[in-house]
Amino acid sequence: MQEATTKAISGTGGVNRRFKALFAVRETGILLALLIICSALTLSTTSFLTLQNLLNVGRQVSLLGIMAIGMTFVLISREVDLSIGSIYAIAGLSTGMLIVSGWLLFPAMGTGLLIGSAIGCLNGLLSTYGRLPSFIATLGMLSVVRGAALLITNGQPVTVNTAKGGRGDVIDQFYFLGQGHLFDRIPMLLIFFILIALAAWFLLSKTTFGFRVYAVGGNEKAARLSGIQVSQTKILTFTLMGLLSALAGILSLAFLPSGQAGRTGVGLELDVIAAAIVGGASLSGGEGTIFGTILGVLIIGVLRNGLILLGISPFWQTTVIGLVIICAVGLDKWTEHRRSN
């Protein structure tokens, strides 16, 4: 009898330990928060839980999600990139200008992606070999790249359609990337987001590069002593961030085929950083997962969608998102303080 009681107590203790371990994972809390928000919106509106609305949410968060995935790598390496909104603009607008001037789709897109990657690489060089804090380096590049976008467009809107020039078949292919649907149901933007998320998860979790990113962000000195090329790793994360920002900018122009250098992507970097931090990436480096970032992106997207469905003023929408960002950063700092103690 005593032995059975001991086993029962031991079993209960094991279950309790498993529950504690589960809730110690930051993504569990983020997932619970997302489920609570979804449940509240389901009870408050009749249209939130429809397939069409959920697909719309997926499409709406796709571009933000693609960029937030890149920001996750940068934040884990204990850096930050504020220039991504400008990269988003110049890459998309450059691609659009090349298409209307008669270029084929893949060379035009390749040029736009190359521009974004080159700017990201330059950010990495300034932050490592240039010894500039990434906050300052990328803040300066934000203005430099935005100015370059204004110069190459002469401050005029860039519109991709047959009236402006370009081949009709190429423009149709370009439109499909942003406006098309797979199986006449799933938005292509969502497909891009899913594929990039899977590739990024594999890169961060299953490769040597991902291990190096965590090591550099967790303890740069220890990583250097263990033989990891710290500067090279950081440059690669910035380059990846530039590549994904450029891709998001190109897909954005494919979805809404008109943009202006002075407006496109302005302030986008704040939403991207917020989504990654809400998803559990730490400003102190060394922490973050792709799954957590996806949850963070979904929380912001679902909140915005729900506030629209509830008919709440756009001004209140901005306020609510701001409060979510403050709470997320506060939670990040609080948990960091508890770990240090």
pLDDT for the residue numbered 110: 97
pLDDT for the residue numbered 270: 86
Residues of the chain with pLDDT under 70: 1-26, 328-329, 331-341
DSSP-assigned beta bridge partners for residue 54 = none
CATH 1.10.10 for the 28-335 domain, yes or no: no
The phi, psi pair for 193, rounded to 5°, reads: -60, -45
Read off the pLDDT of residues 31-87 as tens digits, 9 standing for 90 and up.
888 888 899 999 998 889 899 999 999 999 999 999 999 999 999 999 999 999 999
pLDDT for the residue numbered 90: 96
Instruction: State the burial class of residue 35 (Cβ atoms within 10 Å of its Cβ: 0-12, 13-18, 19+).
Output: exposed
Read off the pLDDT of residues 273-309 as tens digits, 9 standing for 90 and up.
989 988 888 888 888 999 999 999 999 999 889 988 8
The residue assigned the tokens 């059975």 is 4
C-beta neighbour count of 14 within 10 angstroms: 10
pLDDT for the residue numbered 219: 92
pLDDT for the residue numbered 311: 86
Could you tell me the CA-to-CA distances from 293 to 13, 73, 89, 113, 240 in Å, in that order?
32, 10, 23, 23, 16
Gap between the Cα atoms of 136 and 142, Å rounded: 10
pLDDT for the residue numbered 283: 82
pLDDT for the residue numbered 338: 62
